[in-house]
Amino acid sequence: MPPDLRARPLALLRTERQRRMVVAVNRAAAVLGIAPGHTLSDARALEPALEVAEATPEADSILLGRIADWARRYSPWTAADEPDGVVIDITGCAHLFGGEAALAADLTGRLRAAGFAARAAIADTPAAGWGLVRFGNPEERRREALDGLPLAALRLAPEMVEGLHALGLRRIGDLHAMPRAGLAARFGGRLLQRYDQAFGRLDEPISPRRPVPDHRERLTFAEPIATPESIAGALRHLLGRLCKGLEAAGQGARRLRLDAHRTDQRVDDEPQSLTLGTSRPTRDPAVLARLFAPLLERIEPGSGPGPGLETLVLSATETGPLSAVQTGLDGEEVDGGLAELVDRLTLRLGERAVLRLVPRESWLPERCVAPHPPLERLPEPKPWPAGQPRPLRLLTPPEPVEATAPLPDDPPLQFVWRGVRHRISRAEGPERIECEWWRGEGSLGLAVRDYYRVEDGDGRRFWLFRAGLYRPGETPRWFLHGFLG
């Protein structure tokens, strides 16, 4: 918000039952006594020069989600708390920022610098934090601090609060001496649920906006880093820690994400992220560091006074089983060079430019394999038909040949391919393959095929098939489809 507008009284409005109602105000308007719930006429009576604008709850929700994502710099367990809050589970994270108080001060300081009015409370439960930050002293976290808060701090519906007021109950502490059965009978289970959540008697797990990876490492720097050497060194350190965790779990990384948080990152900006995929699970830090190396050039440490990165977070977003692997004298995985080459080519050319062939469920030879990106998980393998050898090389499309064969189903005695005659010395077959009924006559326009494995006098082995059946007035055609090993 521009500073000049921030200094003037401002209210956001929404139409309710054909009345213009105030739903939010800035600090200048609040000082004048204008508050959410006032009608526009009441607010204008307090301040005729009141600036007004239409409330946009959808845009507010999107912005709140971005702030929750930004808060992942402090913990991966963040969630938007509609309509105006963010809840963060900082268990095990506060020491990275110098303690809980320092973390809260850093968070609110950054939000205020971005133009937001912000308060932060640290409590033992999300419910207690919600009440303290809105109705109490955010720096107080003792149980007694909740006792003095109004009942609305339990996140109760206004009509329930009014009903409790009618009984003379106005503070949370007033509920301690009340019989639970009586409260439940009169107000339902919601009151006791909120009460127990506030005091930790009932769990209230936080559902993060994004799934939290099982394997994740974080590195926060005392001084921002900006040089390519320091960034690469920090990444190597993170990879070493991550791979140790993967080894302990018997897993290897298939996809990794590196999030880089800059010192000048705006609240509603995403961190700079690099993603890396591997063709098979791996936990070799040296290999992963080489794959990340060309990607690190994309990280911009920022400009202006004090640029640099203050936090790096490395996550294995997809993993796969990986048992103990054999390593060479250099400590690297044996036979890992081919996989690394595939990964390097994929990074350079794109995931759709490097493909491998995987089995596909089809009896038609030209359809029983399909191209598949190497970084994606393989589909369930479909083996060749049991007991039916297949050629190492297929011709696409099959090439016509002139064959001489006895009737009706004997193998050919000889065939001519590309002007060369091959006399058959050994043959096996036929193996009949029919096109899938839903494809009509198939991609080659051949409904029925009888395949033969044949060997000529020089020991060369071929895969031939006869297309069609011997019928009066019809002459079946012969094709060479592949070469047997």
- Please indicate whether residue 216 or residue 142 has the higher confidence score (pLDDT): 216
- Please indicate whether residue 370 or residue 150 has the higher confidence score (pLDDT): 150
To the question of pTM greater than 0.75 for the whole model, the response is no
Q: Strand pairing partners for 24?
A: 12
CA distance linking residue 277 with residue 221, whole number of Å? 27
Q: How many residues does the chain have?
A: 485
- Tell me what pLDDT residue 435 has: 75
Q: How confident is the model at residue 343 (pLDDT cuts 50, 70, 90)?
A: confident
pLDDT at 51 over 80: yes
pLDDT at 206 over 50: yes
How confident is the model over 250-263, as pLDDT tens digits? 999 999 999 998 88
pLDDT at 326 over 50: no
Greatest Cα-to-Cα distance within the chain, rounded to the nearest angstrom: 108
Lowest mean pLDDT among 64-73, 147-156, 229-238: 64-73
pLDDT at 352 over 80: no
Handedness of CA 255, 71, 299, 314 (dihedral sign): negative
> Contact, 456 vs 424, CB < 8 A?
yes
Q: Which structure tokens are listed for 360?
A: 């596909």
Q: Which long-range contacts (CB under 8 A, 24 or more apart) does 443-451 make?
A: 443/364, 443/366, 443/367, 444/366, 444/397, 444/398, 450/409, 451/481
pLDDT at 149 over 90: yes
- Please indicate whether residue 407 or residue 463 has the higher confidence score (pLDDT): 463
What's at 39, amino acid-wise?
T
Most confident range (mean pLDDT) of 96-105, 180-189, 235-244, 377-386 is: 235-244
- Tell me what pLDDT residue 258 has: 96
CA distance linking residue 211 with residue 219, whole number of Å? 20
Cβ of 202: how many Cβ atoms within 10 Å?
14
Q: Which structure tokens are listed for 403?
A: 């064959």
pLDDT at 155 over 60: yes
Provide CB contacts within 8 A for 450, sequence distance 6+: 409, 429, 430, 431, 432, 465, 466
Lowest mean pLDDT among 267-276, 380-389, 459-468: 380-389
- Tell me what pLDDT residue 446 has: 58
- Please indicate whether residue 96 or residue 356 has the higher confidence score (pLDDT): 96
Please measure the distance between the N-terminal and C-terminal CA atoms of the chain and give it in whole angstroms: 74
Q: Which structure tokens are listed for 140?
A: 């107080």
How confident is the model over 283-303, as pLDDT tens digits? 999 999 999 999 999 998 876
User: Which of 416, 318, 322 has the alpha carbon at shortest distance from 376?
Assistant: 318
CA distance linking residue 251 with residue 318, whole number of Å? 10
User: Which of 372, 358, 343 has the alpha carbon at shortest distance from 277?
Assistant: 343
Q: Which structure tokens are listed for 155?
A: 């996140």
Q: Which structure tokens are listed for 123?
A: 């409590």
Task: Report the SS3 class of residue 422.
Answer: strand
Mean pLDDT score of the chain: 85
Over range 336-341, report the average pLDDT: 69
CA distances from 378 to 5, 18, 254, 344, 355 (A): 57, 59, 12, 19, 12
Lowest mean pLDDT among 111-120, 173-182, 350-359: 350-359
pLDDT at 329 over 60: no
pLDDT at 475 over 70: yes
Over range 433-452, report the average pLDDT: 69
> Contact, 444 vs 366, CB < 8 A?
yes
> Contact, 251 vs 321, CB < 8 A?
yes
